[in-house]
């Protein structure tokens, strides 16, 4: 089963240098961390969705829509019980929910969803080989770059193996439709055993394949794909730098976009 997130389109985001996209995601993370108000986080999330739409990569985000929704829902439900605020809207014995803690919980859910969407957008518009070469061009040691690229390559492989195992068990009579979500999790737990066995087998085959080809991480290498920075890459980084500077100024100097000042 193919669960690769990469979307092979000829969009402006696909044509950017992989270094630009990786640095841009880091800067976007900093922008996301600058605010903890739900309105600002909603605006950032909508901006990420707009970029994904312009890059024709919304389908990559749609694959993990349930995870994104669960992040927002669980954060909105859990955070209010662990924070105190001056405006109490519900209380029962020792449990209290304030307006500020509720808004903060929604903002944290949107923040987590924004983190995931930004990362998915990077994976949806950047080939694994491009990311590896970009890391090497950023002077990262080749063994580290190779390990990171291999880890990214194994994620969809393991996810596909897990989906195949689930489909095989469903074809053998496993019932996942007539139960609630908690019962489904209990049913899926025994499937972790063949999943782990499949992962160990695949990593062992990968190690043998690398050894049989004489793979040596420290050997000098040449790159088939040479990433080059263009004007649009520098322009993209300049725009993101400006947005980050404005975000930091709003948060640190003016205190805008903050629902609970003592928390990030």
- Residue ranges of domains in the chain: 9-126+231-264, 141-229
User: CA-CA distance, 13 to 52, in Å (whole number)?
Assistant: 9
Question: Residue 44: CB partners within 8 Å, gap ≥ 6?
Answer: 31, 32, 35, 110, 114
User: Is the separation of the CB atoms in 160 and 93 below 8 Å?
Assistant: no
Q: pLDDT tens-digit profile of 131-181?
A: 888 888 888 888 888 888 777 777 777 767 777 877 887 787 776 666 666
Q: pLDDT tens-digit profile of 102-119?
A: 889 999 999 999 999 999
Is the pLDDT score of 10 beyond 80?
yes
| 187-209 average pLDDT score | 79
Percent share of the chain, pLDDT over 90: 31
Work out whether the CA dihedral 217, 221, 224, 229 comes out positive or negative: positive
Is the pLDDT score of 2 beyond 60?
no
| 229-237 average pLDDT score | 93
Average model confidence (pLDDT) for the chain?
84
Q: Measuring CA to CA, how many Å separate 97 from each of 35, 79, 83, 260? A: 21, 9, 8, 14
pTM: 0.80
The pLDDT value recorded for residue 88 is 80
Percent share of the chain, pLDDT over 70: 89
| 94-101 average pLDDT score | 80
The pLDDT value recorded for residue 149 is 78
For 104, the 3-state DSSP assignment is: helix
Least confident of 67-81, 140-154, 222-236: 140-154
């Amino acid at each position: 089963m193919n669960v690769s997130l990469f979307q092979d389109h000829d969009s402006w985001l696909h044509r950017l240098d992989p270094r630009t996209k990786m640095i841009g995601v880091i800067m976007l993370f900093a922008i996301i961390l600058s605010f903890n108000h739900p309105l600002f986080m909603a605006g950032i999330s909508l901006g990420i969705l707009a970029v994904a739409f312009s890059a024709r990569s919304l389908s990559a985000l749609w694959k993990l829509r349930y995870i994104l929704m669960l992040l927002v829902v669980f954060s909105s439900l859990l955070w209010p019980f662990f924070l105190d605020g001056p405006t109490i809207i519900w209380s029962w014995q020792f449990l209290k929910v304030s307006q500020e803690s509720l808004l903060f919980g929604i903002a944290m859910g949107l923040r987590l969803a924004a983190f995931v969407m930004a990362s998915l957008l990077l994976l949806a518009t950047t080939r694994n080989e491009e990311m590896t070469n970009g890391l090497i061009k950023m002077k990262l040691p080749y063994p580290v770059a190779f390990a990171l690229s291999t880890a990214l390559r194994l994620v969809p492989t393991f996810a596909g193996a897990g989906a195949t195992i689930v489909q095989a068990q469903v074809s053998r009579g496993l019932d996942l439709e007539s139960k609630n979500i908690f019962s489904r999790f209990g049913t899926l737990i025994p499937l972790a055993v063949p999943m782990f066995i499949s992962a160990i087998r695949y990593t062992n085959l990968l190690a043998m394949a690398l050894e049989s080809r004489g793979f040596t991480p420290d050997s000098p290498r040449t790159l088939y794909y040479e990433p080059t920075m263009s004007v649009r890459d520098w322009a993209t980084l300049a725009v993101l730098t400006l947005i980050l500077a404005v975000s930091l100024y709003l948060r640190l100097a003016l205190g805008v976009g903050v629902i609970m000042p003592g928390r990030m």
